[in-house]
Structure 1
Amino acid sequence: MTSLPDSTSAPVTIGIDVAKATLDIAIGLKSPPLSLTNDSKGFDALLTHLATHQVTLVVMEATGGLETAAAAVLQTAGYAVAIINPRQARDFARAMGQLAKTDRIDARILAQLGEVIERSPERDRFVKPLPSAEQQALAALVTRRRQLVAMQGAEGNRLAQGAPAATRKSIDTIIEALTTELERIDSDIAGHVQAHFADLSSLLDSAKGVGKTTISTLIAEVPELGQLTRREISALIGVAPINRDSGRMRGKRTIFDGRGSVRRVLYMAALVAVRFNPVLKVFYERLVAAGKPKKVALVACMRKLLTILNAMVKTGKPWDGAPLCSRLRRSSAQTRR
């Protein structure tokens, strides 16, 4: 039986550096470092150690999925977990004058970063919500589909670039196998979505331009959809313009960071929506008429589409573009005058 945390102990943040076989753990900045195995036995030992402390936040780096099991165990146990981009952790270490890099140093830096996040008014933006088992299974299927598409594209490029005759048969065979596997994985994704997320899928599908791939990606990789404000969801995905100003210099606004895989499917959805979705078509044409570059207008449409979908999930109401389309048309007419 694990002991209860000492009520007199100070709150601490935990930094965990994740490797394939091990977890290096910093419990606050004063406790000695701890190293455990990255498996169920190590997770049990970790929970036993953390039970004696008042843990406010656990910080881990995204490491290609190696952190997923540990994060799920911690979240199930009730701990707040923030999974951050490794670049952010390294930038923070440099800012603190820490140039050396080892697993133990990284864990200590993550714990120190956790103290900063814990005091931030935007703390909740960093804390990763616990995805359901169904969302985790769907995320695995969506990731696998993305891998198959990448492999199919690579083989297609080899063929298009004039592969030698001796290798064409092999390339054709692999492309055929990948196409068959893509069809199977698409069927698995559709069945999983229909079995577990039918209502949410139907809600998102009511928006023109939003297809099956976009829907499955949003459900799997944006569990925060419907829980954040329009500014927060835009920043989370990385479609909010970031200022580049200093003194009198006004730099060009750009989008940066966020969830690249979600941004890619939103880009494809926006390409379709600006042609066939009346609301986004008017919005896009208005921006282009105002002199915005087409790529900038398209990114604005991505952001608009995301915020509308976020509002739909939050309110539980399907797409109703008539009022918004009417407002955009009036605004466009006023701009032309």
Structure 2
Amino acid sequence: MKNWNVILGVDVSKLTLDISCAAHNLHLKIENSSKGFGLFKKWCNGNAFDLKDTLVVLEFTGGYEYRFIQFCESQRIAYTRISGLEIKNSMGMIRGKNDQVDAFRISRYGEEKIKRLTPSKPLDVNMIMLKQLLSFRKRLVRERAGLDSTLKERKHMYGVNNTDLVIRIILGKIKSNNKYIQDVEQEIIKLIKTSEGLLQNYRILTSIKGIGKVNAWMTLAYTENFNLFADARKYAVYVGVIPFERSSGTSVKGRPRVSHMAQKELKQELNQAAKTAMAHDPEIIAYAERKLQSKCYKLVLNNVKFKLILRIFSLIKRGEMYVENYKRAA
């Protein structure tokens, strides 16, 4: 295991980066751009930080960190990305919050957990493009939903038909959006087919009842083809389906609840997957029926989501397709 002489915590936002070294009580705020990265390098040199012995710790942000990561890779600076929930849970009670404070806390987290932190693997260009395509597809789908809502509202309120100018414009935009969504989805499939590993895992995911193409695409993207999360439980925490205990001594005994610090979009997609599995997968149906005898529907739905995640990671690890009524060898 490499010994890192310097641990830097980085709080990432769209326009700026807050970089802190808790051990030396140093802080730097720069633009999230090439110009800012140049200032960061000068700052490190000015403080005698050997970049070969420096580990950068930063949170997942959904994309804002990618330019800085590309810079780190070009300079051979080791970095690791950590779930924001994991960092928050390690801090206990905290007071106050701003970007500089967060950067110091991330640096302190890195110093405390250094023995188990390992540098992240280099960025996969396919993963970056897949996330970009999914993000643009989401925008198109939301725009289409808004247009469809406006269409129904106008017809209901004014009793107009398809000859109305506004209705014709809306219908034309919906038609265009449908074509663009189809084009984006075809590009996603094309991208997945360029990688044997991606294609294999996509086939495994879609073999599971309840996991459709969109859910499979998002799972591949946010796990970076199952390279970001060591096991199913860590991914379940990231998605927000693991309940955390809320108790203290004998006086505080709250019901375990899932954290609001989660990837809500993935969680929403898993909701649909769980509902589909509860309707069409015999094993999940039987499991849900047993759970419903003692739990409410919402809790059972969450249990099913976790069960699907366990199934996903198990099949991916073994490299096997899902087989209904599969029985393990004795």
User: How does the TM-score come out when normalised to structure 1?
Assistant: 0.77
The equivalent residue for 1:204 is 205
Between the aligned partners of 2:297 and 2:111, the Cα distance in structure 1 is 40
Between the aligned partners of 1:207 and 1:20, the Cα distance in structure 2 is 36
2:34 maps to 1:40: yes
Which residue does 1:107 correspond to in 2? 100
Say if 1:56 and 1:79, in contact at 8 Å, map to a contact too. yes
How far is the alpha carbon of 1:191 from its aligned partner? 1.5
- What percent identity do the matched residue pairs reach? 20
Retained in 2: the 8 A contact 1:57–1:118?
no
For residues 273-284 of structure 1, what are the structure 2 equivalents within 5 Å? 273-284=277-288
Residue 55 of structure 2 contacts residue 80 of structure 2 at CA under 8 Å; is this kept in 1? no
Partners of 1:245 and 1:93 lie apart in 2 by: 14
Say which SS state the counterpart of residue 63 (structure 2) adopts: coil
Do 2:110 and 2:117's aligned partners in 1 also have CA atoms closer than 8 Å?
Answer: no
| Alignment correspondent of 2:8 | 14
Contact kept in structure 2, 1:18 and 1:24, CA below 8 Å: yes
Any residues of structure 2 matched to 1:181-260 within 5 Å, and which? 181-196=180-195, 197-223=198-224, 225=226, 228-246=230-248, 247-256=250-259, 257-260=261-264
Select the residue among 250, 263, 266 that pairs with 2:267: 263
Q: Give, in whole Å, the separation in 2 of the partners of 1:281 and 1:181.
A: 37
The 1-side partners of 2:115 and 2:304 are apart by 26
Equivalence for 1:330:
none
How far, CA to CA, are the matches of 1:316 and 1:282 in structure 2?
Answer: 26
- Relative to structure 1, is the Cα distance of residues 60 and 304 closer, same or farther in structure 2, using a 3 angstrom cutoff? closer
Q: In the superposition, relative to structure 1, how do residues 94 and 72 fare at CA in structure 2: closer, same or farther (>3 Å)?
A: farther
- Once the two structures are superposed, what CA deviation does each residue of 1:281-306 show, in whole Å capped at 9, x if it has no partner? 22112212x23222221111111001
Match of 2:19 in 1: 25
Q: Which residue number corresponds to residue 134 of structure 2?
A: 142
Q: For 1:61-76, what aligned pairs fall within 5 Å after superposition?
A: 62=61, 65-74=63-72
What is the rounded CA distance, in whole Å, between the counterparts of 2:288 and 2:92 in structure 1?
A: 42
Q: Which amino acid aligns with 1:143?
A: S
Q: 2: CA distance between counterparts of 1:93 and 1:278?
A: 42
Do 2:247 and 2:254's aligned partners in 1 also have CA atoms closer than 8 Å?
A: yes
Structure 1 residue 310, shift from structure 2 partner: 0.7
Bigger drift between 209-218 and 157-166 goes to 157-166
Specify whether residues 50 and 295 from structure 1 end up closer, same or farther in structure 2 by C-alpha distance, changes over 3 A only.
Answer: same
Q: Report the aligned-residue RMSD.
A: 3.5
Q: Give the conservation status (yes or no) of the 8 Å contact 2:9–2:57.
A: yes
Q: What is aligned with 2:299?
A: 296
In structure 2, what is the Cα distance between the partners aligned to 1:72 and 1:324? 45
CA distance in 1, matches of 2:210, 2:103: 40
Distance 1:146 1:301, change over 3 A: same
Select which of 120, 125, 137 maps to 1:133: 125
Deviation at 1:35?
A: 4.4
Letter aligned with residue 12 of structure 1? V
- C-alpha distance in structure 2 between counterparts of 1:14 and 1:261, whole Å: 30
The CA deviation at 1:324 is 6.3
**2:169 maps to which residue?**
170
Q: Report how far residue 312 of structure 1 moved.
A: 1.0
- Give a deviation string over 1:303-327, Cα, whole Å, max 9, x none: 10011101111121221342469xx
* Contact 2:137/2:181 (8 A) holds in 1: yes
Judging changes above 3 Å, is the alpha-carbon distance between structure 1 residues 124 and 170 closer, same or farther for their aligned structure 2 residues?
Answer: farther
1:318 partner letter: M
What displacement does 1:47 show?
4.3
- Report the Cα distance in structure 2 between the residues aligned to 1:93 and 1:109, rounded to whole angstroms: 14
Shift, 1:266, TM fit: 1.2
CA-CA distance at 1:50 after TM superposition: 4.1
Deviation at 1:48, TM superposition (A): 5.7
**Cα distance in 2 for residues equivalent to 1:292 and 1:93:** 30
Kindly tell me: are residues 75 and 123 of structure 1, through their superposed partners in 2, closer, same or farther at Cα, counting changes over 3 Å? farther
Provide closer, same or farther for how the CA distance between residues 65 and 279 of structure 1 changes in structure 2, counting only shifts above 3 A.
Answer: same
Paired residue type of 1:193: I
- Give the TM-score taking structure 2 as reference length: 0.78
2:78 aligned partner, one-letter code: Y
